[in-house]
Amino acid sequence: MKIGNVEIEKTAALAPMAGVADKTFRELCKGFGAAYTVSEMVSSKGVTMGDRKSSELMAVSEIEHPAAVQIFGTEPETMAQAAISALKMNPDIIDINMGCPAPKIVKGGAGSALMRTPELAGRIIKAVTSAVDIPVTVKIRSGWDAEHINAVEMAKIAEDNGAAAITVHGRTKEQMYAPSVNIDIIRRVKESVSVPVIGNGDIVDVFSAAKMYEETNCDLIMVGRGALGCPWIFQQISAYLKTGNIIPDPPVSQRMLVMLKHIENLCSERGNRIGMREARKHALWYTKGLRGSAEYRRQLSTIETIDDVKRIAFQIVKDNE
């Protein structure tokens, strides 16, 4: 499929997840076959004020392409300036976040709060699409709450203001990440616009991936929480969609090797102190469902060195294989 002039394999993309989908994780998922990656959301105000952390979040590595930088905010001109600044990182696409349900984002009127202000959302999209010469996409939710399901309206506004594609997370802001995703609203958005639509929500295996494609006719699917501790999901989805073959989850020994490589790369990228702090949550996801996981999770929540991780990983393999 294509977003503007950007070709993307029609398998599965990695969703932008704040505090999780950093460059190290995106590169890992790309290595396992993610068709497209999107950065963690970046504050447009932070970018325009020269905030170092915001600039770091926009970094896109060579192996990620095709890749997008995602920005959020409420001021059209500031968003446009942030998009222009993001071009320095050489992304293929600029993505606008209009779906984040986090209270601190919504409180400031950004993220999914923009589902309640469609006119402002349109002006933001127009400002960004007018400012850059690469495709601009928009990520939305089904609506603010059950009484205000307006994804179709928002999608049309996005298209009318120059958006090259629209990602729909099939839940409202009030629903956060439960209950089950509303497949129907994604299908309705796909039927209402001519630009590509990306389906997002509850894709956790090859069957839910195929279901999203089949029941919505979307152009691409996006995996978020389903990739946590399971980056090989992209390889599995790709194989299933192309051949119908089901690749089993890797054995525990391989799973631990992936975890170790992930954590080593985190520490190499961000330094041992920050890297190990970030590694703890990933280590918990990698060990979910394993025999003795409660005790492993207790130990992994306090890891401080790679040697700590290796020691625990060795014991996990010994106990589970």
Q: Band of the pLDDT at 201, cuts 50, 70, 90?
A: very high
Please tell me the total count of domains within the chain: 2
Average pLDDT, stretch 117-124?
98
- One domain for residues 31 and 167: yes
Kindly state whether residues 236 and 278 are assigned to the same domain. no
**Residues 184 and 316 placed together within one structural domain of the fold:** no
* Distance separating alpha carbons of residues 16 and 138, to the nearest angstrom: 12
- Is 29 a known active-site residue? no
Tell me the residue range of the domain where 123 lies.
Answer: 2-243
Q: Check whether residue 80 and residue 161 sit in a common domain.
A: yes
Give pLDDT tens digits for 22-71. Answer: 999 999 999 999 999 999 999 999 999 999 889 889 999 999 999 999 99
Residues 6+ apart with CB under 8 A from 307: none
Cα 63 to Cα 31: distance, rounded to the nearest angstrom = 9
pLDDT over threshold 90, residue 291: no
Q: 293 pLDDT exceeds 90?
A: no
pLDDT digits (tens, 9 = 90+) for 203-212: 999 999 999 9
What is the pLDDT confidence band of residue 243, given thresholds at 50, 70 and 90?
very high
State whether 92 and 110 are in the same domain: yes
Q: Give me 305's structure tokens.
A: 């060195």
Q: What is the mean pLDDT of the chain?
A: 96
- The predicted model scores a pTM of 0.95
Last residue of a domain, one of 208, 243, 278: 243
pLDDT digits (tens, 9 = 90+) for 136-189: 999 999 999 999 999 999 999 999 999 999 999 999 999 998 889 999 999 999
Contact predicate 142/169, CB 8 Å: yes
Residues 232 and 300 reside in one and the same domain: no
Quote the CA–CA distance of 111 and 104 in Å, as a whole number: 10
Q: Are residues 202 and 68 in the same domain?
A: yes
Q: What percent of the chain has pLDDT over 90?
A: 94
Please, what is the Cα angle at 96 between 93 and 102, to 5 degrees?
Answer: 135
Among 180, 212, 243, which residue terminates a domain? 243
Last residue of a domain, one of 212, 243, 274: 243
pLDDT in tens, 75-111: 999 999 999 999 999 999 999 999 999 999 999 999 9
For helices 151-160 and 183-192, give the axis angle rounded to 10 degrees.
30
Q: Which of 29, 100, 230, 267 is catalytic?
A: 100
**Whether residues 222 and 279 fall in one domain:** no
